[in-house]
Amino acid sequence: MLGLKAFETNRDIYSPNRNIAPLSSEINESGKLVVGGCQLSELAKKYGTPLYVFDELSLRTACRTYISSLKKHYPGDSLPLYASKANSSIAMCAVIASEGFGLDAVSEGELLTALKGGMKGEDIVFHGNNKSHNELKFAYKNNVTIVLDNHHDIELLKNIASDKNPAKLMLRFTPGIECHTHEYIRTGHLDSKFGFDPDDLKSVLEELKTYKWAKLNGLHAHIGSQIFEVQPHVDLAGVMADTLKIAQEIGHPITDLNLGGGLGIKYVKEDNPPSIEEWVEVISNAVVKACRERNLDLPRLMCEPGRSLVANSGLTIYKIGAKKIVPGIRTYLSIDGGMSDNPRPITYQSSYSACLVDKPLNTNCEKVTVAGKHCESGDVLLKDFFLPACKSGDFLAVFGTGAYNYSMSSNYNRIPRPATIMVADGFVELTQRRELPEDLLQLDVLPDRFIPRN
């Protein structure tokens, strides 16, 4: 059963990524689900559905746990960077910046959002495997560290950066390590669109040393996402320390070592990711050991959490509509959202946990399949899922939707995107307004010759 009682078992109040529901989740005297001191069914009635809800307590707790864990376990300087692709909004960036984080961005849009949210340019790194001239120019103008991903970046920067104001750079390479939830691959050459191949590193480092417009301060590597294992990061630290030693011998003043992100979260009760502190302790000890073995000074340690910062602080509320019973096969419950506000199930076959917001502890359940409203048979959010008996108009909360839901959302079938709110201590802040149907027409152009003439 996926009632809230299951969520409260072994709750980790220090590591939100290990909880299905937000930290502030509770059941009020009426037996209804409350988050951030706000009853979810009342929020749904006031702000409409679908509705993205963020728990500020969970978000800030995750940020503070990363910061405190780095200070506790890493004896050198450190700077965690928010992987803003997980969820990019001005309000989200403002909260995370206020907690002492930097940020990584992969487009001018994410850069602009971060800057508007109060992130300082010097605390932002700019990724991407096909950066445009305009994007690089915008990053350079705002004092952002640019992550060199390939020779194309170098050629474009030759016409942007100046000798008097060298571009701050970081070099990304494929470390021969790839890890996802149930996969761990170690090889010399990974098939990836990102980063320089290991065989190219020395020649690229020597080339960059000849450019006065280039100031290489850091190295970057990333080994995957939704990671539950820690050993791959130990291996990664050794590979990066080897590269750091080569770069310094060539004459680059490398001060930053960025090990990427990828820490997994708990989507369903079977998931068992490491805590934030466990993950930080492993990478910190690994970097310290690798540097000491090579007689290297400790660099500033960077990491790039995204999902583990925001996913479990978020949930989505839907309203249940139509019900269809296919005798002997399946019962469908249709909701007022789906693949346009959460494309992960149809794209990755991702699993989620959910409950009825006004019956979170009801154990009188039936097996249903929760389907979205889009014109796709594969638009299914929860397959063969157990929920209490419900009716049209009931509200459903789906947990763990704070990452890669709004940021990957679309207007498929010309369906507007949901609103986003943040809750804390009984207060509600609207952080992204709901799109309206007429908003979807703002960029449309109707040529004169297409207008009917009488």
Helices 231-250, 201-209: crossing angle, 10 deg rounding? 40
Q: What is the distance between the terminal CA atoms of the chain, rounded to a whole angstrom?
A: 63
- In a 13 Å sphere around the CA of 280, the CA atoms on its Cβ side amount to 27
Residue type, position 154, single letter: I
The shares of helix, strand and coil residues in the chain, as percent rounded to the nearest 5, are: 30, 25, 40
Say what the alpha-carbon torsion angle 44, 368, 336, 354 is, to the nearest 10 degrees. Answer: 40
Exposure on the CB side of residue 51, measured as CA atoms within 13 A: 25
Q: What is the dihedral of CA 281, 284, 287, 293, to 10 degrees?
A: -70
- For 205, counting Cβ atoms within 10 Å of its Cβ (0-12 exposed, 13-18 middle, 19+ buried), the class is buried
CB 197 within 8 A of CB 189: yes
In whole angstroms, give the CA distance from residue 312 to residue 121.
28
Q: Is 375 a catalytic residue?
A: yes
Separation between Cα atoms, residue 104 and residue 145, nearest integer Å: 9
Place of tokens 């209804």: 32
Q: How many CB atoms lie within 10 A of CB 419?
A: 18
Q: 422 CB contacts (<8 Å, ≥6 apart)? A: 36, 53, 54, 55, 56, 59, 91, 95, 428, 429, 431
Say if residues 278 and 71 touch (Cβ distance below 8 Å): no
Q: Which residues have CB under 8 Å from 453's CB, separation 6+?
A: none
The DSSP element (H or E) to which 240 belongs, if any, is helix 231-250
DSSP state of 255: -
* CB-CB contact of 354 with 382 (8 Å): yes
Catalytic residue among 63, 303, 375, 390: 375
- Which sequence positions are flagged as catalytic? 375
